[in-house]
Structure 1
Amino acid sequence: MSNSCTKRVSHSKVKVEENKRKAVFRNPNNVDYDVTTIDGCLVKEGIRSDFMVSEVGKISVLIELKGKDVAHACDQLLATVKRDNVRDLMEKRIGFLVICRKLPRFDTFVAKAKQKCAKELKAGFHVVCDKGEFDIEQVASINGKL
């Protein structure tokens, strides 16, 4: 963890937030988590997601905090995972999380993103509204229920 965009924490609840959206990861054993700011810090140009939260040595979750453009959020997450400087910081197991204001009525792009992540990356892909408290294992799980 030698980069200025990453902060190591061991709080019982690890939180990222932006524009009234937030994701909280439960950490009951207070193990080390790395919280990386991607948008505007690790990646300053091009399409990218907002944050990456990693349980050190286990799992990384890429997070996009969005208003309502869930299709664009899917694109941002899938573009971010391909970046070398992000991959260098990722743990072996990964997951994807979109926190949005409102779920889309037709979620074909979400279904396609879930399939692509499961097939190509063996990763879970989840979209939830407003905010949530999560178990990082469930987010990374393909069949994880949030």
Structure 2
Amino acid sequence: MSTNCIKFTNKKIVPFKEQKSSFILNNQKSRDLEIHHVDGCVITNGIRCDWMVIDTESGKEIYIELKGTDLNHAFEQLKETIRKLTKDQKKIKSALIICTRSPMSSSEIQIMQKSIFQTHKAKLYVKTSEYRENIEKLIA
């Protein structure tokens, strides 16, 4: 893995963008973060999500997949990346799918949320682009 795959930041605004999907992580308290570029850098083969963020103080992990509309594939990408990269299987983490639009019903998303929490201890958030969230909510 190249050292270019991991960046360190404490910026108040941390943007993630890919094609038409974007996510902005608000870091108003300037927490120290590790930003891992997973897709094609940390993991180069197989399915994987786009980004992983680690809050260095708490060790909490946030997995991010920026997607068009294929939520099933995004879900599989998150699960596989968590399986490969998590440092602690038992610690609760966050997984985000940021999509251009959600073709799934809320009940289908709820099934995905329950499944990934049971198998990977991840809280799944499915949001449409351009989504903003405070890091404190995601690492709570």
Please classify the TM superposition score into its range, dividing by the shorter chain length: 0.7 to 0.9
TM-score where L is the length of structure 1: 0.82
For 1:53 and 1:111, how far apart are their aligned partners in 2? 24
- Taking structure 2 as the reference length, the TM-score comes to 0.85
Match of 1:81, SS? Answer: helix
* CA–CA separation in structure 1 for the residues paired with 2:70 and 2:106: 11
- The gaps in structure 1 that reach 5 residues or longer are 142-146
- Maintained 8 Å contact 1:66/1:101: yes
Structure 1 runs, 4 residues or longer, greater than 6 Å off: none
3-state SS of 1:61 partner: strand
Counterpart of 2:8 in structure 1: which amino acid? R
For residue 12 of structure 1, report the CA deviation from its aligned partner: 0.6
- Secondary structure in structure 1 of the residue aligned to 2:102: coil
Q: What are structure 2's unaligned runs of at least 5 residues? A: none
Aligned counterparts of 2:135 and 2:120: Cα–Cα separation in 1: 16
Aligned residue pair count: 137
Aligned to 2:56: 56
Q: Give the equivalent residue in structure 2 for 1:71.
A: 72
Residue 124 (str. 1) matches residue 123 (str. 2): yes
- 2:124 & 2:104 partners in 1: Cα distance? 18
C-alpha distance in 2, partners of 1:20/1:44? Answer: 22
Counterpart amino acid of residue 67 in structure 2? K
8 Å contact 2:6–2:36 — kept in the other structure?
Answer: yes
AA of the residue aligned to 1:56:
T
Name the SS of the counterpart of 2:83 in structure 1: coil
Amino acid at match of 2:96: L
Q: Does the Cα contact within 8 Å between 2:20 and 2:100 map onto a contact in 1?
A: no
- 1:106, CA displacement in angstroms? 3.2
RMSD after superposition? 2.3
Identity %: 28
1:89, 1:36 → 2: CA distance? 17
Displacement of 1:60? 1.3
Shift of 1:61: 0.7
Structure 2 CA distance for aligned equivalents of residues 89 and 22 of structure 1: 27
Q: Which residue in 1 is equivalent to 2:132?
A: 133
How far the C-alpha of 1:108 sits from its partner, in A, is 5.3
